[in-house]
Amino acid sequence: MIVRRLGTGDVAAARALNTVYAAAFDDPVTYRADRPDDAWLARQLGRDGVIILVAERDGVVVGGLTAYDLPKIEAARSEIYLYDLAVDEAYRRRGIATALIAELQHIAAETGAWAVFVQADYVDPPAIALYTKLGTREEVLHFDLPPRPRG
């Protein structure tokens, strides 16, 4: 198995990762393989602040993560937000998620990020166990605020 960061030429791998996400999160509507278009996806893959890692076995994407580098204004540093992480069910419990997170931590160190942070849902004990093993748990509240047009 190899873990690698995707770049602009990896649109197919990004789509394969979305397929893994769709199955793992039971959310095919959000993670459909046919969206967004190739040009948009390639642009996102080329952004420094977008970090997409995949775990591949024999050239097949079996897991991955999506993270975002968030520059801060109160200090000359950034934080990395681990937004999505999933491993194909057939490949779980083999250290793949831990390897993906370790690579993200290396990227964080290389870029001078202050921390990597991630949220977990109370209804996801495997994620909570993984993140508890790797970091410090904080109790926080999460709120979704809808966009509101002016006027």
CA quadruple 136, 71, 85, 139: dihedral, nearest 10: 30
What confidence tier does 147 reach under pLDDT thresholds 50, 70, 90? confident
pLDDT tens-digit readout, 7-43: 999 999 999 999 999 999 988 888 876 688 999 999 9
pLDDT tens-digit readout, 60-110: 999 999 999 999 999 888 999 999 999 999 999 999 999 999 999 999 999
Q: In what order do the strands lie in the sheet with 50-57?
A: 2-5, 50-57, 60-71, 78-87, 115-118
d(C-alpha 34, C-alpha 87), whole Å: 20
Domains of the chain: 2-134 (3.40.630.30)
The distance of Cα 144 from the centroid of its chain, to the nearest Å, equals: 19
Of the candidates 115, 129, 107, 47, the residue with the CA atom closest to the CA atom of residue 81:
115
